[in-house]
Structure 1
Amino acid sequence: MDVAFVLYPRMTALDLVGPYEVLAHQPEVTAHFVAASPDPVVTDAGLALVPTTTFAALDRADVIVVPGGAGWAEVLADGVVAAWLRAVHPTATWTASVCSGSTLLAQAGLLDGRPATTHWALRDELAALGAVVRTDRVVVDGSVVTGAGVSAGIDLALTLAGLVWGDERARFTQLFLEYDPAPPYRAGAPESAPPALVALARRAFDAGRTAGTGPGRTW
């Protein structure tokens, strides 16, 4: 089973690595890191990832995973990822996104009139691209699976594992990863975080976009 993980400049590492750790260790999986060129791709926090193939070379995959990140708007603008998704999605059993990666699926026309989720700060943008936005952590609609922000990629990948290999395999993987979240603070979603903190995060997010540096994560 070929699983293609999409790379692009200033993506968020956890959007990719969370699903990778869940899916790439499955014995049936051959993982591919696909990008516009074979040159290393630098994430929004400076981690360099090395593609194993390119969009021009990889014309099919059983599963596609598209991460989000600070570079999503630039990727929307150049259209390269969306063009590849339009070509390859018909060959895939599952096409998935994490966080703002959903905007790239939407640009490719994969979410027109379909339910989907994304990072909480990008719900309006996703709706403007034609999706029916939900606030769920993971949304499954036909062959398309979307996850909410960043850490939701692990939930998305476990959902995929259950769909592909069954619930018992997914539970085993969850146990092996010791994925049993007990965060020290109840502030992981705008519905649970204090309103002042949500406002601060929104300002940081908007300031980063205005400056062209992507979502801000600093005070």
Structure 2
Amino acid sequence: MATPLNIGIFLYPGMTMLDAYGPLQLLSFAEGFHCFTFAKTAEPVPCDAGVNLLPNYGFDDCPHIDILLVAGGGNPHQPMQDAATQAFLRQAASQAQYITSVCSGALILASAGLLDGYQTACHWAYKDAFNRFPQVEVLPQRVVIDRNHISGGGITAGLDFALTLVAELQGAAAAQTLQLLLEYDPQPPFNSGSPQTAAPELVAGVQAQVRQLAAELFD
């Protein structure tokens, strides 16, 4: 691609760092993309890992975004309710080629009205939070492609999402090369990474933890 596509990754307080920085790390190795982060202001943003993230831009000076990526967090209620954030995301999405998300970032897009009529992936424990968005269909898949919306499920699915995005725009060979370069060859020590394979008591415990953490989303 002659002109790199701008990938703008939205940061906000309390977000999950891996949701954003997993895809950012992978996409930074791909040719044809210019990746940057942005937030409401360019001030440091505290994430849920206890470290501050430094956005490249604030809303006021954010460049044009070709691919909008909204990451998730344990409780994305604040950006879902913030009028300035919602307005900026709608404006950016109106000019973007792709509107994408990882994990509960899909809820932030849905609250801005950007997923009406779309299918999306999301972290499984947040599916019921979409009851307030009946025009959005949540699929139990690790990655979902629906027209110009590409979405990843919970947290680590951001890597699968990023590879899918590269394959969509540059072909499977480019994505496979990146996968090999990063030695992305998951071999987890336990088979408990989804509610389909985890023990029922683990599923119930994680669901309860999420509902306590983000009670506003499930009221």
Give the TM-score normalised by the residue count of structure 2.
Answer: 0.92
Superposed, which structure 2 residues align to 1:133-212 within 5 Å? 133-210=138-215
Q: Would you say the 8 A contact 2:29–2:178 is kept in 1?
A: no
The residue aligned with 2:17 is: 13
How many residues align structurally? 212
Match among 85, 90, 93 for residue 89 of structure 1: 93
Instruction: Give the distance between the partners of 2:107 and 2:85, measured in 1 at CA.
Output: 11
Instruction: Give the distance between the partners of 1:101 and 1:171, measured in 2 at CA.
Output: 26
Moved more, 109-118 or 167-176: 109-118
The residue aligned with 1:52 is: 56
The residue aligned with 1:217 is: none
SS in 2 for 1:172: helix
Give the TM-score normalised by the residue count of structure 1.
Answer: 0.92
Instruction: Give the distance between the partners of 1:156 and 1:79, measured in 2 at CA.
Output: 28
How far apart are 1:128 and its partner, in Å?
2.4
The answer to whether structure 1 residue 27 and structure 2 residue 31 are counterparts is yes
Note the residue ranges of structure 1 that are not aligned, 5 or more in a row: 215-219
How far apart are 1:127 and its partner, in Å?
4.1
Q: What amino acid is the match of 1:99?
A: C
Q: 1:79 to 1:120 in 2, by over 3 A?
A: farther
SS in 2 for 1:96: strand
| Cα deviation 1:108-152 (Å, max 9, x = unaligned) | 212112111101111121242231111011111111111110000
Instruction: Give the distance between the partners of 1:122 and 1:155, measured in 2 at CA.
Output: 19
What percentage of aligned pairs have identical amino acids? 36
Instruction: Give the distance between the partners of 1:126 and 1:79, measured in 2 at CA.
Output: 20
How far apart are 1:12 and its partner, in Å?
0.2
Q: Would you say the 8 A contact 1:81–1:104 is kept in 2?
A: no
Moved more, 120-129 or 91-100: 120-129
Q: 1:79 to 1:148 in 2, by over 3 A?
A: farther
Q: Would you say the 8 A contact 2:80–2:112 is kept in 1?
A: no
The residue aligned with 1:4 is: 8
Q: Would you say the 8 A contact 1:59–1:87 is kept in 2?
A: no
Q: Would you say the 8 A contact 1:8–1:71 is kept in 2?
A: no
How far apart are 1:10 and its partner, in Å?
0.5
Instruction: Give the distance between the partners of 1:95 and 1:112, measured in 2 at CA.
Output: 12
Runs of 4+ in 1 over 6 A off after TM superposition: none
Q: What amino acid is the match of 2:115?
A: L
